[in-house]
Structure 1
Amino acid sequence: MFFDEELSFSLKRIIQAVLLILLIFVIGTSGYYLLGIFEGKNWRFLECAYMTAITISTVGYGEVIDISHSVFGRVFTVILILSGMGVALYSVSTITAFIVEGDLKRILERRKMINKIKLMENHYIVCGCGITGSGIVKELLLTGRDFVVIEKNIEHIEKAKKMGEFLYILGDSTEDEILLDANIKKARGLITTLPDDKDNLFVTITAKELNPDIRIISKVIEENSAPKLLRAGANSVVSPNAIGSMRMASELVRPHVVNFLDGMLRGKEKHFRIEEFTILEGSRLIGKKLGDSPIYKETDIPVLAIKKLGESEYTYNPPHNMKIEAGMVLIVLTDSNGLRKLSGFN
């Protein structure tokens, strides 16, 4: 949808340029023809067309129409040359920009991205790629998640792409069509990081209408906007200001903990994260004791906590003799490769 609009706009500019050339050509041919009638010369239509062509193109093959004694003819020719050159320059620059300078290439690349997005399932959508959004993009790239970014400002996209390649859509995430282009109906989750609470609220409402099962995380600026976002369908709201103040306090009172977490999150060789892993029906882990399961025997991934199905409390540092059940959520410390290994047990 967005791609079709962009392609249509570019084609309209090219068609407009071609029509302007044709218009100047028709005006020039008709003008010389009428001048011939006015001055009793009876110039042929083909001669008028030829005269227009060599005048606009400034080729100068020689005048087939004698206007040396016609004041009106010379004035008309000067006007035709100036307007023709202007139109020609505009037309050539428009067509050149479309073909040579990358407009066509960018349109084809975006078409390719749209086709890739259509095939995505269980992916994430990031609305906004500013300061907060670019941080989310970095995390999703590091942990190997499938995601799509929606952003209006191409400069924000280009800046974020320095961290790695990702799929994106240039557009307004508050519009239904843009969210549909991002394949929201098959998406697992959406994060909206727009700079205005009203826009985040609108994205939340729209996203929930298009996909009632999607998990939505919203940025919130004003504290009193949080309940509204939750009522609108957001599963959770996050205040960057609140997180920032908590980080500063932690740096003051527990610096070693902060350094440990920073090292875990920003490691150059491995990117460890505290991840969640759900035990599905039919998993070969069901019925096994945690200590005897492939989790420890084959991967040696530490399980930090377990939440049983239907319970709200977590069992921290679970004992090795705890039996694994369907629906359990395991909180583990691992990297993206380890998480893929765990998924193989399901």
Structure 2
Amino acid sequence: MKSTARIKQVLVLLVGVIAIGSIGYQLIEKWTLFDSLFMTVTAISSVGFEEVHPLSRAGRWFTIALIVTGRGSLVYGIGALTAFWVEGDLVNLWEKRRMERQIAALRDHIVVCGGGETGRHVARELLRTRRPFICIEIDSTKEEAIRKLGEGMLYIIGDATTSDVLHRARVEVAHGLVACMPSDKDNLFALMSAHELNPTMRIVTRAVAHDAGPKLLKAGAGAVVSMATIGALRLASAMVRPNVVDLLDAMLREPGATRVQEVTVGPAVVGQALSELKLQERTGVIVFALREGATQRHVFNPSQERVLQAGDVLMGCADTEQHAALQRIVTEG
């Protein structure tokens, strides 16, 4: 039986014993409700007060039965409360230690600064795509909402703008950081602290104010996302390209992890034509776009005869397994 159900059972049992005792004294001894209640509580709690009124023989037998059942119920209740406290404490301690061990083993992960509504949406997408990550949230009242995001959620309740908390999140060996706190100032401090600890990591930050973007980029952000701008573009797209928007929404909502993925061309395939890799035959992925490493220019629907160069980035729709296979091919050949 769960501890919470046991506590409810104890409360019902104690209330029932007190009610039966009070009614019993009223029927047997013809006492008032208050005197009957007082005598019942005195008998159960064993405080040692004298009888309210002299007891009849039947009243004494009833008192003996009340003491036995009442004190038994009281002892059971104390045991249940103790178990509830100890079990809850032990479970929380075990979960905390387990999470600390998992955090200590993190490497090449993503640090999500902010566990509010935006941060939880980021976390859900990372969970769906099976990316290792940890969430940092300063408000302890949001802890339960963060835990409910998924099994094995890793998080820290602390201030993401401080180096100490970022160090606990292993920013030094992280792949990237997402700053999505509700304040531009907090996001700025977080990315500056993170950039100092890990200058090579990719940092993506949320911008609240319309003029915050340039400052965040100057401070070290690799990309700045304006919620107002993205929302406006989404509204326009939903009007003029409804089917495309529905497709992208379905891609994000469906249980699978099929996403528009990207892979960077490695030295092993530099100089080869796209057709030589046989990506569609080997992985089922069609490359629909390419970003040139030298010019950063995007090429849509690249020709199969396109010769790959160092730093080129290939893009296509793939699930987690297809993405891993694609990465392996463009890295190892």
Q: TM (normalized to structure 1)?
A: 0.68
**TM-aligned CA deviation for residue 96 of structure 1:** 5.4
**TM-aligned CA deviation for residue 230 of structure 1:** 1.3
**TM-aligned CA deviation for residue 161 of structure 1:** 3.5
Residue by residue, what CA displacement relative to the aligned partner does 1:216-271 show, whole Å, maximum 9, x if unpaired? 11111111222211111111111212211221222222211211211222223x33
Alignment of 1:6-85 (within 5 A): none
Secondary structure of the residue that 2:303 maps to in structure 1?
coil
The percent of aligned pairs where both chains have the same amino acid is 38
For 1:155 and 1:273, the matched residues in 2 are separated by 33
Report the equivalent of 2:133: 147
For 2:179 and 2:247, the matched residues in 1 are separated by 29
**TM-aligned CA deviation for residue 59 of structure 1:** 10
Instruction: Name structure 1 gaps, 5 residues minimum.
Output: 1-57, 61-91
2:169 to 174, 182, 187: 182
Report the equivalent of 2:108: 122
Instruction: Name structure 2 gaps, 5 residues minimum.
Output: 1-44, 48-77
For 1:305 and 1:97, the matched residues in 2 are separated by 60
Report the equivalent of 1:317: 301
Distance 1:291-1:206 versus aligned 2 partners, 3 A rule = same
Report the equivalent of 2:326: 342
Q: Which amino acid aligns with 1:145?
A: R
**TM-aligned CA deviation for residue 178 of structure 1:** 0.8
Distance 1:263-1:97 versus aligned 2 partners, 3 A rule = same
Secondary structure of the residue that 2:288 maps to in structure 1?
strand
Alignment of 1:132-143 (within 5 A): 132-143=118-129
Q: Which amino acid aligns with 1:206?
A: S
Residue by residue, what CA displacement relative to the aligned partner does 1:312-335 show, whole Å, maximum 9, x if unpaired? 212210111112333221111111
RMSD: 2.5
**TM-aligned CA deviation for residue 97 of structure 1:** 9.2
Cα contact 2:284–2:322 (8 A) shared by 1: no
Q: Does 1:306 pair with 2:290?
A: yes
For 1:97 and 1:130, the matched residues in 2 are separated by 34
Cα contact 1:98–1:104 (8 A) shared by 2: no
The number of aligned residues is: 255
Q: Does 1:232 pair with 2:219?
A: yes
Secondary structure of the residue that 2:212 maps to in structure 1?
helix
1:292 to 276, 293, 308: 276
**TM-aligned CA deviation for residue 123 of structure 1:** 0.5
Distance 1:207-1:98 versus aligned 2 partners, 3 A rule = farther
Report the equivalent of 1:21: none
For 1:275 and 1:181, the matched residues in 2 are separated by 30
For 1:98 and 1:222, the matched residues in 2 are separated by 48
For 1:232 and 1:152, the matched residues in 2 are separated by 22
